[in-house]
């Protein structure tokens, strides 16, 4: 009982704040190490993607815990205070929450070409309360509430990285193929490649996105080096 009462004090709140900050930076460090030094295998990519999403949702979860602890110190006074703050800050809170779900969308990333209402441009930066795009007449900031109201579309044009398809013929498993392919720097690993079995044994449908400047010929040459046949159709001679 004494431990619980100690938690619901200003010193307990400070301790919780320090703990949550420490966990946040630990997650940031693990994500950074994974991105920079971990071998690019399918499993590692899934873990890093999971950590990125965890970081995105960690902040609001941590803030919620702090607010609950803050209320517990003095239920009446602090609850009334937070109600007033929520009333005046509702727009910003809604905008921030909308931004979390917007940034969690796997189609949204920096350098993507996006259409929002009458505005079109390249996403330069994803921030907490909005994004910055390089539009026709310069940079423009658009908040997430406005994006939610107007809707958005990710454009596909000559400047975007397009999803491409190859058929592979090999005795390797899907996991083995992906692990080999992840070692190739010409693939855009931000848009994770996928591989599916076809109706023909040992033939797979491989979908991928190349880095800027890379060509499909570079990829097929690499695949041939590791004894994987390629074709634009599922028919191999």
Is residue 161 predicted with pLDDT exceeding 60? Answer: no
The per-residue pLDDT for 19 is: 93
The per-residue pLDDT for 232 is: 76
More confident residue, 27 or 217: 27
The per-residue pLDDT for 38 is: 65
Poorest-pLDDT segment among 7-21, 119-133, 163-177, 185-199: 185-199
More confident residue, 10 or 62: 62
Q: Domain-by-domain residue ranges, the chain?
A: 2-103, 113-154, 163-231
More confident residue, 48 or 74: 74
The per-residue pLDDT for 23 is: 92
CB 79 within 8 A of CB 71: yes
73-117 residue pLDDT tens: 888 888 888 888 888 888 888 889 888 888 887 778 777 788 887
Is residue 207 predicted with pLDDT exceeding 70? Answer: yes
The per-residue pLDDT for 5 is: 45
Is residue 158 predicted with pLDDT exceeding 50? Answer: no
Q: Would you place residue 18 in the very low, low, confident or very high pLDDT band (cuts 50, 70, 90)?
A: very high
Pairing of strands 203-209, 152-154: unpaired
The per-residue pLDDT for 183 is: 67
Mean pLDDT of 209-234: 80
Q: Would you place residue 7 in the very low, low, confident or very high pLDDT band (cuts 50, 70, 90)?
A: low
Mean pLDDT of 27-41: 77
More confident residue, 231 or 107: 231
Pairing of strands 119-126, 113-116: antiparallel
The per-residue pLDDT for 83 is: 87
pTM: 0.56
Q: Which CATH architecture has domain 163-231?
A: 2-Layer Sandwich (3.30)
142-146 LR contacts (CB < 8 Å, sep 24+): 142/116, 143/95, 144/95, 144/96, 144/98, 144/99, 144/102, 145/91, 145/94, 145/95, 145/98, 146/116, 146/117
């Amino acid at each position: 009982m004494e431990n619980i009462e100690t938690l619901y004090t200003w010193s307990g709140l400070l301790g919780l704040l320090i703990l949550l900050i420490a966990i946040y930076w630990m997650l940031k460090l693990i994500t950074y190490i994974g991105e920079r030094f971990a071998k690019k295998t399918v499993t590692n990519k899934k873990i890093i993607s999971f950590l990125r999403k965890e970081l995105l949702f960690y902040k609001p979860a941590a803030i919620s815990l702090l607010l609950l602890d803050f209320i517990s110190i003095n239920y009446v006074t602090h609850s009334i205070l937070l109600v007033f703050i929520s009333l005046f800050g509702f727009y910003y809170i809604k905008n921030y929450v909308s931004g979390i779900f917007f940034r969690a969308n796997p189609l949204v990333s920096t350098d993507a070409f996006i259409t929002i209402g009458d505005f079109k441009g390249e996403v330069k930066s994803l921030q907490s309360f909005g994004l910055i795009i390089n539009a026709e007449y310069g940079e423009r900031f658009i908040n997430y509430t406005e994006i939610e109201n107007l809707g958005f579309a990710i454009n596909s044009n000559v400047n975007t990285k397009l999803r491409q398809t190859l058929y592979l013929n090999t005795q390797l498993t899907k996991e083995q193929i992906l692990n080999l392919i992840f070692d190739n720097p010409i693939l855009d690993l931000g848009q994770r490649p996928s591989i599916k079995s076809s109706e023909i044994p040992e033939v797979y449908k491989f979908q991928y996105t190349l880095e800027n400047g890379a060509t499909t010929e570079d990829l097929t040459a690499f695949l041939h080096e590791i004894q994987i046949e390629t074709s634009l159709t599922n028919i191999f001679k």
